[in-house]
Structure 1
Amino acid sequence: MNRIGKTPGKLALLSLSVLTALAMPAGAAEEAVATRDVVVTASRTEQDIKETPSAVEVITRAELDTLGANNLADALKLATSINVSSPAMAGSNVTVRGMSTRHTLIMINGRRLVSEGSYSTANSYELERINMQNVERIEIVRGPVSSLYGSDALGGVINIITRRPEQEQLTFSLSPQRYTDKTSIGSDNYSLRYDTGKNNKWGWIISADRTETDAYANADNTTKNQFGRKENLNLDGTYDLADDKFLDVAVNLLREDLNGRSTETSGALRNDSYDNTRDQYSLGLRGKTKNGDYQIRTYYGEHDKVNKGFLVNNGQLVDFDVSNRKTWALEGHVSQQLGTNHLLTTGGEFRTETYRGTRIGTGDKVFDITYGSITKQGSEADIDYSALYVQDEWLASERLLVIPSLRYDNSNRFASNISPKLGMTYKMNANYRLKVNVGKGFKAPTLDDMYMEMTKIMGGMTVHVTGNPDLKPEKSTSYELGIEGEQGSTFGKLTYFVNDVTDLISTKTNVSFVPGVGMRADSTYLNEDKADIDGIEFEIGRHLSDKLSLKLNYTYLEATGKTGQRLEGRAKQQGTVQLHYDNIRANGISAVLWNEWKKDYLYAASSNTNKTYALWNVSVNKKWNDNFSSYVGVENIFNKKDIELNLLGAMVQAGMTFKL
């Protein structure tokens, strides 16, 4: 095993860099860095970022405005140890510390989403679906958090926290984007938000958004992207039952009408339509007591998807698939202060999932469905989850905070699992902190992984995928050691992390030529792989003045599989250099210029194809008065293109927001 710990020179050099920078004398701004205050995702309780042992990052509302972020993919551009890529026709992928997209738990206000769940599509479409207009902040926890959130959090958690009602206001935003060398191609983003403020005891926020994306066509008229329309309608309400007691109501509706053009094995041009509807509802009670707080809520979601394929030349239907996913959850937790040094949190969750569709082959509740001249058979699968967890925030001394946590998960489809974690924050002095985390995580196989039965034309090849009901949960053991601090105008972090994953689910594929059919790939899922993912995260920044700051983040990653091969879709080194400006005026300007770069990004493991590249980007936001602001930005300023990486050149984006 190739541990970074066996290359002490690199670690020592980075350590020296952090300590040297932190020891630099203060410049114009003598105050310690103002961190983004409080997070709730790392421990399910309110915690100061400096106190929490977990590796946490917060993206604020102001930063979203400066970036001109329309969706979650946009919002994550500057985050540490996170890589967002856009493989053609398949949404976006996000890796956290080298863990794949399906190992990241994405939540909205702590609620899971009902979404695609297959090996290749889990989470991929959510990065473009989640609009930023009604978002207050995004909390990111890097590293496994199964001790609190159970399955799906092997890589980390991204929790989108929405705004709460404040004052009556109507907000409208418009944001077009266009490629500089294809000025007719891009997307248009519209959003509308109405905040009622407090009306007696009720407060409501109604928000709606639409994204219309153009087709980016290849020379043969196939497309590099899915194009069409996405729409969201959200209703979020809060009722003040009494002092420090609230009832929360949420309704979230998604509608997608998308298309993509590809080719059949015969070479004929094919258009695929993707019609998606998703309805989610939530009802919750939360409050505070003299010595703690509590929350209990239930939520339900249903996602329908219809995919049809037509020949472009004559409109003939050649394939289709349908699916219906449902999830219902009941969860709650109570935090109670015990004495002066312990905050005990206990909680539980019960959740059910049902998947009914033409890509499921259980033989249970079989049905036939016909579109045009094609009839397909489908079936149904379901899974139940239940869990209990406990956490103690123990202030062992004025300098030492110890947080042990433990979660027990059970299901009707896999064996029970226990996920422990121990986190510690030690204050070396007023400015420096040492943080340690040790824990275990797991990810249960999805219904798709276990019961998939799919045949589909993809890239001119017939692909057949068969699930495996005997799959076991993927499991990880993680270790993390970090030092962070502030000295005057300078701040920094250095973290070494290890995440060893066993029983990693992978695909075993056999490719053959079938007479009369062409090339065929037969795949199934197996627990045959493992991953050893070690890395170093380095963050440093300095306030050059009260208006200007410079930040740098860097990640060195060793991610290998069972045979020692590097894991595909990861960069050995990546980072950003960011210059932030804010003139701190009521009608002011904020801006960010940044360079994002990757070195030895493994694009294709089979051919050992590595990519190294850097992109320059800029975004400027101007607040003209209390009711009007605008921004303009350029992604990929120097027009870098790489078809394999789906880098399609420079894009200009602009936007304006009106408030009434």
Structure 2
Amino acid sequence: MNSKLSKFYLLSFLFLSLTNLSLYSATQQQAKGTISGRVVDAQGTPVYPATISIDGAAIGGYTNESGEYKLENVPTGKQVLTVSGIGVKSKKTAITVLANKTTQISDIEVDNSVNLNEVSVIGKSEARKQQEKAFAITVLDLKRAQVISIPLNRLLNNVSGVRVRQDGGMGSNYNFSLNGFSGNQVKFFLDGIPMDNFGPSFNLNNISTNMAERVEVYKGVLPVSLGADALGGAVNIVSRKDANYLDASYAIGSFNTHRAAINGAYTDSKTGFTVRANAFYNYSDNNYKVFAPIKDLNTNKIVDNRWVKRFHDNYEAGGIRLESGVTNKSYADYLLAGVIVSKNDKDVQTGATMDAVYGGVKVKSESLIPSIRYKKDDLFTEGLSASFYGAYNSVNTFNIDTISRSYNWLGESIKDSTRGERAYTDSEIKNREWLSTANVSYMLDTHQSITLNHVFSSMNRKIHDKVDPENESNKIPQKLTKNVTGLGWQIKYDRWNANIFGKLYNTNSSTYKRLDEYTVNARLEKVKDSKTYFGYGAATTFFILPKLQAKLSYEQAYRLPESTEMFGDGLIQQRNPDLKAESSDNVNLGIAYEQHLNNEHTLYFETNLIYRNTKDFILKGVSLTTDPTTAYENLGKVLTKGIEGGVKYRWKNLLHAGVNVTYQSIIDNQQFEKNTGSLVGEGIFEHISYKERLPNIPYFFANGDAGVLFQNVIIKNSELTLDYLFDYVQKYYLSFPGLGAKASKKVIPQQMSHDIALGYTLENGKYGFVLECTNITNEKLYDNYRLQKPGRAFNFKVRYFLR
């Protein structure tokens, strides 16, 4: 680690420490006769609405949608707090209120499923409340998933319209696809904070399921409060809000795979001082078998195809997210200083396909991200809320390709006259980004509110290559700045609510272009660009019947190119500084129905129609050469039409089953294109792939799950669970299906996989054990052309949970 980075780590640590000390000191000076806390059910789900009162005093209130409450001017000394409400079994809790102090009450657990004249009144989960909003959204409640060992990326594959495509095993590159949009067209958030530049370690591959309370998948229109330039949706990972808990887990599996995670929080009930931490460590040899082409290194020809083990695919990653500050104060609902520190080491086994095999290429990264978060409801006046997030992202990536050898899939190698296996380099890419998000909302009345949001990011990239220090292109700094401002209005009634919004997008870039390449006039030219766009949209929902909900949304959205798309990754992904922003007219029409039968059975049905009319669609392509690479390019017009649907069934909490199906037609809708400077002449020509289905994108897929739960098996307060998951993908083509001879087509084959997990918990979930088998039938699985995923694998997980 260089001295500058060491100083940066030290300064960030001092900043966090001093901030926490000053915040803690400030808490000691507050004097507000207030109590606050949260009401939850047996599963830890917030209960809303519930009545909160102090026995013998005319003081009371209600919980909000997060199950939180706050009562002021409470008499000091010993008091009795009562929680009650419709469908909530009344519960009394003895508390002690300190004079001139804010007393933080530990979570109060209540029974919110009470029979009233044989009619069961069941409290809604936070996930269900989110789904009842106007936006096209699917919510994954992770309470059950926290017990089993399935990572987030695989869980998201169970959402209709979603495909998470991986290049291989643990640590491999992945591509998230949602209703025809993929990659950076879909944005990721952690508690509403953009994750664009968190570094390669903090992502869906590595984040522990035990860290999150739920995952919100927005299909199309986003709330203004998320504030991003997403083209076709977003994923918001909502971390757990427990005031005090500890959740530790460790899993070991095939291919020498290890996953460890520790998540926890501590809150001082007297001062509101809090510390929250999420840490993980992952490792795998990834030495699973693949069916690969065997090259004779002397003749450079393919002589056979056989099953071999991957031999250069080790992956190791670790990270911690730490936040500390105060909560539930008169001046802040929370004020938290934090830091994310992460690192990973990754061997690179293949190029863009398995036709290229490497034995010495490596990629490493390290990230340091200090941050501060603030939120306050009823700021200065009732109904005014404000939040802010600021961070400085420091991410260093190291690409190492210095071995002058050629390898084949048998692990054999010979000395090569070419320096490096793919691109001779020992480079360090330094990405430095300032990021801030600010959100202000105001309740105009009981039915209307307005929201203003702004997101600013400014990323600078510098590159230094030890083996090519005089490289002219590396001496040119590259910069990308984005501003996205959104203004929204919401109206809400019992059976109907709507959102109308507008967004202003601005991007400024500074980079270089290669001109007249491969000629005597080849040169680099510095280029700058600035663009501004305006988008708008609306979303509405109406309950036709109490359990029958219809949703409709429209948005004209823009998505600004990301730095990795424009500047490349310095290894396999090539740069394209000419990328344009893509725009799309998006329409979602959906209907959802839920029915409770005999107080025991629950049936849920949902279907959505999808329409996307996209211009300058950014598509990731693969070059099928002897050394394959990838690159992003614009397609003039793309039309997407699709339908997705799902059915879920639950009997009590003992049995559940569900299935999702998605069909999407994604075609090239550019009829004519203009050629300039072409060898075949200039002018307007009919586009050769007009009305052809876009290549390398799955168009029909399905997934499902089923599970049973048995209580008090052998030991009291224990649970035995058995879960099954399946995944199906219809075959699709790597190139445009209507062009060329069918026999010459490269195909990603039809595939189906099955997973099963057996779990056992003790003492109401305090101790947990899970045995899992993935890809039971040992199928050859591919998410991308000629990039095989692991075969049958076994994992065993242990968990300790204390709340």
TM-score by length of 1: 0.80
Shift of residue 646, structure 1, vs aligned partner: 1.9
Shift of residue 561, structure 1, vs aligned partner: 2.2
Deviations along 1:218-269, one digit per CA (max 9) or x if unpaired, are 6767838742211112212241261462202221111101112359999995
Shift of residue 88, structure 1, vs aligned partner: 3.8
Deviations along 1:627-653, one digit per CA (max 9) or x if unpaired, are 311111111111112463524321111
**What's 1:399 paired with?**
495
Deviations along 1:70-101, one digit per CA (max 9) or x if unpaired, are 4x323323222111222248512211112122
Distance 2:696 2:177 in 1: 9
Distance 1:78 1:266 in 2: 31
Structure 1 segment 195-344 matched on structure 2, within 5 A: 195-198=265-268, 200-216=271-287, 223=310, 226-240=313-327, 242-243=329-330, 245-262=333-350, 270-289=359-378, 290-311=382-403, 318-344=424-450
* Equivalent residue in structure 2 for 1:423, among 539, 550, 555: 539
Higher strand share: 1
Change (3 A) 1:603 1:614: farther
> Are 2:176 and 1:94 aligned?
yes
8 Å contact 2:224–2:453 — kept in the other structure?
A: no
**RMSD, aligned CA:** 3.4
Distance 1:386 1:225 in 2: 41
Distance 1:267 1:129 in 2: 26
Deviations along 1:96-123, one digit per CA (max 9) or x if unpaired, are 1121222110121222235499xxxxx8
Structure 1 segment 614-629 matched on structure 2, within 5 A: 614-625=752-763, 626-629=765-768
8 Å contact 1:223–1:260 — kept in the other structure?
A: no
Change (3 A) 1:126 1:226: farther
**What's 2:577 paired with?**
468
SS in structure 2 opposite 1:303?
strand
Shift of residue 376, structure 1, vs aligned partner: 4.0
> Are 2:589 and 1:481 aligned?
yes
8 Å contact 1:423–1:438 — kept in the other structure?
A: yes
Structure 1 segment 527-606 matched on structure 2, within 5 A: 527-562=634-669, 563-583=690-710, 586-605=717-736
**What's 1:494 paired with?**
607
Change (3 A) 1:57 1:249: farther
Identity %, equivalent residues? 14
Distance 1:266 1:57 in 2: 38
Letter of the 1:652 partner, please give it. F
Moved more, 425-434 or 606-615: 606-615
**What's 2:260 paired with?**
190
Distance 1:511 1:261 in 2: 17
Greater Cα radius of gyration, structure 1 or 2? 2
8 Å contact 1:32–1:486 — kept in the other structure?
A: no
Distance 2:536 2:801 in 1: 47
Letter of the 1:61 partner, please give it. L
**What's 2:71 paired with?**
none
Shift of residue 447, structure 1, vs aligned partner: 3.2
Shift of residue 292, structure 1, vs aligned partner: 4.3
Change (3 A) 1:611 1:31: farther
SS in structure 1 opposite 2:636?
strand
Moved more, 92-101 or 267-276: 267-276
Distance 1:105 1:384 in 2: 17
> Are 2:749 and 1:611 aligned?
yes
SS in structure 1 opposite 2:208?
coil
Distance 2:180 2:368 in 1: 32
Change (3 A) 1:131 1:303: farther
TM-score by length of 2: 0.66
8 Å contact 2:775–2:791 — kept in the other structure?
A: yes
Distance 2:325 2:238 in 1: 14
Deviations along 1:513-567, one digit per CA (max 9) or x if unpaired, are xxxxxx6889875534332111111111222444112212111111122422222
Distance 2:262 2:252 in 1: 15
8 Å contact 2:456–2:482 — kept in the other structure?
A: yes
Change (3 A) 1:238 1:225: farther
* Equivalent residue in structure 2 for 1:381, among 453, 474, 478: 478
8 Å contact 2:229–2:484 — kept in the other structure?
A: no
Structure 1: 5+ residue runs without aligned partners?
A: 1-28, 40-47, 118-122, 179-184, 358-367, 513-518
* Equivalent residue in structure 2 for 1:103, among 181, 185, 192: 185
Change (3 A) 1:592 1:443: same
Change (3 A) 1:600 1:124: farther
Shift of residue 596, structure 1, vs aligned partner: 1.5
**What's 2:455 paired with?**
349
Moved more, 155-164 or 499-508: 499-508
**What's 1:167 paired with?**
244
Count of equivalent residues: 585
Distance 2:213 2:319 in 1: 17
Distance 2:555 2:399 in 1: 41
Moved more, 594-603 or 625-634: 594-603
Letter of the 1:246 partner, please give it. Y
Letter of the 1:242 partner, please give it. K
Change (3 A) 1:156 1:225: farther
8 Å contact 1:191–1:210 — kept in the other structure?
A: yes
Distance 2:624 2:794 in 1: 42
Letter of the 1:657 partner, please give it. R
Moved more, 583-592 or 544-553: 583-592
Shift of residue 56, structure 1, vs aligned partner: 1.4
Deviations along 1:587-635, one digit per CA (max 9) or x if unpaired, are 2233321222122344554716252222221123321125311111111
Change (3 A) 1:539 1:593: same
Shift of residue 150, structure 1, vs aligned partner: 5.4
Shift of residue 303, structure 1, vs aligned partner: 1.0
Change (3 A) 1:49 1:137: closer
Deviations along 1:352-394, one digit per CA (max 9) or x if unpaired, are 111222xxxxxxxxxx5424x8764513211222232111111
Deviations along 1:428-472, one digit per CA (max 9) or x if unpaired, are 121111110011111112234445596x5x6xxxx9x45234x32
Shift of residue 163, structure 1, vs aligned partner: 2.3
Structure 2: 5+ residue runs without aligned partners?
A: 1-117, 295-307, 406-412, 510-529, 597-601, 670-689, 738-744
SS in structure 2 opposite 1:74?
helix
Distance 1:168 1:529 in 2: 51
Distance 1:627 1:594 in 2: 25
Letter of the 1:228 partner, please give it. Y
